[in-house]
Structure 1
Amino acid sequence: MSEVVRKASLARQTAPRLGLLTTAQKNAALLRMADALVAEAESIIEANAEDLHRGRENGTSPSLLDRLALNLPRIEAIAQGLREVAELPDPIGDTLEAFERPNGLQIRKIRVPLGVIGIIYEARPNVTVDAAGLCLKTGNAVVLRGGSSALSSNKRIVEVLHNALAGTDIPPDALQLVLDPNRSSVDEMLKLNGLLDVLIPRGGASLIQNVVKNATVPVIETGAGICHTYIDESANPDMALQIAINAKVQRPSVCNSMETLLLHRRFAEAHLPTFAEQFIQQQVELRGDESALLLAPGLSLASQEDWDTEYSDYILNIRVVDGLDEALDHIRAHGTMHSECIVTENAENAARFLQEVDAAAVYHNASTRFTDGFEFGFGAEIGISTQKLHARGPMGLPALTSSKYCVTGSGQIRG
Structure 2
Amino acid sequence: MTKIEDTMIIVGGGIGGLAAALAAAEAGQKTTVLEQAPEFGEIGAGIQMGPNAMAVLDRFGVDEKIEKNAVFPKRLVLKDTFTGEELSALDLGEEFKKSYGFPYIVLHRSDLHFALLEVCEKNPLVSLITDQHIETIEETSEGVVATNANGEKVVGKALIGADGLWSNTRAYFSDDKGVCSKYVAYRGTIPISEISDNANIDDVIMWIGPNHHVVQYPVRRGELYNQVVVFKSLNYKEDSVDWGTPEEMDQVFEGAHPLVKTALSFIERQIRWPLYDREPIDNWTKGNICLLGDAAHPMLQYLAQGGGQALEDASYLADMLKKHGENYEAAFKAFQEERIPRTARVQRSARTWGNIIHAEDPTIILLRDIIFKQRDAKDFSHVDWIYGQKYGQGLNKVTKSIQ
- Name the structure, 1 or 2, with higher relative contact order (CA <8 Å, separation 6+): 2
If you compute each CA radius of gyration, which structure gives the higher value, 1 or 2? 1
Which structure is higher in helix share?
A: 1
Which structure is higher in strand share?
A: 2
* TM-score using structure 1 length: 0.30
